[in-house]
Structure 1
């Protein structure tokens, strides 16, 4: 009788390990890289509207480089204090979030 209970417990214990399923995850990661071709321009070629907008938004900013793409969007390399970053603007001085 003792052997019967022991063998039943072993069989049930073995079946529960097969009953558990591991989660299956099929994850597809799609990465889209959008790269606009910007060409470097002289700082004198940056429109006055952009330089005025830069002075208004960031009075202490120093413009180090400027780039322009085919859609007349400008990429500006700017330093404010010890922080360096990029700003994007249209030709009319409107800031673009990218």
Structure 2
């Protein structure tokens, strides 16, 4: 009889453990915009034509790898040349080179 009562208790405890609601932690996803020195990365579609034209005129063999913009509409361009060198250029929205 003791074994029957003990088995009933274990069964009851086991079933109640599975009946409890489990809290699932939902991972919140956030979109974080990275900034570098006040510059936010933009797509090449958002790069003004004047800036693209200035790069192709001054550096014909250069390829723009990444482009960034700040709140003053100044553009930071990471470019690479055909010979494997790379560098950073800064321009205003009219395509004039600036020093930062």
TM-score, length of structure 2 as denominator length: 0.61
RMSD across aligned positions (CA): 1.2
Aligned equivalents of 1:85, 1:78: Cα separation in 2? 6
* Aligned residue runs from structure 1 range 10-89, under 5 A: 36-81=37-82, 82-89=84-91
Question: Where does residue 99 of structure 2 map in the other structure?
Answer: 97
**Unpaired segments ≥5 residues, structure 2:** 1-35
**Structure 1 ranges of 4+ moved more than 3 A:** none
TM-score, length of structure 1 as denominator length: 0.62
**Unpaired segments ≥5 residues, structure 1:** 1-34
